């Protein structure tokens, strides 16, 4: 596959079932995602919230019209660093049969270039502690492990 053949664009609601299928096929994620049609309204509601947000964007990577990857970006502004804005990358997923072909690297490069064009101070992401291959991947792309994240599950 040539990365030049890859198209990265903002996701539409028509992409939703393909995006959900990417997450549902992820054995390590542990998010309970499913392609069960009864769950679709939850995903549709979340897609609506994301698409209405001025600070969030959901993307898909397509190859020959098929969704082969996805990621989401969020812009956050804090008073630290003199009120600078940063980009957060979340929910990076490449279709299992398409891994190792440069799709993930192209998606991350797209996000980083978008952040540069928006004059962001930095780009950050988190990765599940069990995803050692992903950690090496992100480090290879120039990301440095710098913080320890904490979560509290509410649901």
* Res. 130 pLDDT band, cuts 50 70 90: confident
- Domain assignment present for 136: yes
Residue 153 has pLDDT above 80, yes or no: yes
- Domain assignment present for 148: no
Residue 29 has pLDDT above 70, yes or no: no
- Domain assignment present for 90: yes
**Residue closest to 95 by CA, chosen among 51, 62, 139:** 62
- Domain assignment present for 154: no
CA 43, CA 50: separation in Å to the nearest integer? Answer: 10
Helix axis angle for 40-52 and 16-24, nearest 10°, is 110
Residue 56 region by backbone torsions, left for phi larger than 0, else alpha for psi between -120 and 50, else beta: beta
> How many domains in the chain?
1
Containing structural domain, residue 121: 3-140
- Domain assignment present for 146: no
**Cβ atoms 11, 19 nearer than 8 A:** yes
**How many residues would you count in the chain?**
155
Q: What is the pLDDT of residue 2?
A: 54
pLDDT single digits (tens) 39-60 = 999 999 999 999 999 999 999 9
For position 67, which CATH number holds? 3.40.630.30
Q: What is the pLDDT of residue 31?
A: 75
**Residue of 126 and 7 predicted with greater confidence:** 7
- Domain assignment present for 152: no
pLDDT single digits (tens) 59-76 = 999 999 999 999 999 999
- Domain assignment present for 145: no
* Res. 3 pLDDT band, cuts 50 70 90: low
**Cβ atoms 1, 32 nearer than 8 A:** no
* pTM of the predicted protein model: 0.91
- Domain assignment present for 60: yes
Q: What is the pLDDT of residue 49?
A: 97
Output the average pLDDT for the chain.
Answer: 92
């Amino acid at each position: 596959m040539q990365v030049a053949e890859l198209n990265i664009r903002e996701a539409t609601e028509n992409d939703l079932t393909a995006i959900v299928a990417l997450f549902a096929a992820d054995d390590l994620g542990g998010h309970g995602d499913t392609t069960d049609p009864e769950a679709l309204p939850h995903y549709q509601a979340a897609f609506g919230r994301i698409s209405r947000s001025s600070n969030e964007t959901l993307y898909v990577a397509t190859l020959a019209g098929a969704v082969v990857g996805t990621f989401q970006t969020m812009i956050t502004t804090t008073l630290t660093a003199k009120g600078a804005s940063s980009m957060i990358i979340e929910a990076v997923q490449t279709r299992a049969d398409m891994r190792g072909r440069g799709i993930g690297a192209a998606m991350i490069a797209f996000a980083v270039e978008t952040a540069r064009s928006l004059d962001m101070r930095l780009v950050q992401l988190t990765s599940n502690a069990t995803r050692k291959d992903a950690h090496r991947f992100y480090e290879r792309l120039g990301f440095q492990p710098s913080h320890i994240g904490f979560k509290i599950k509410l649901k």
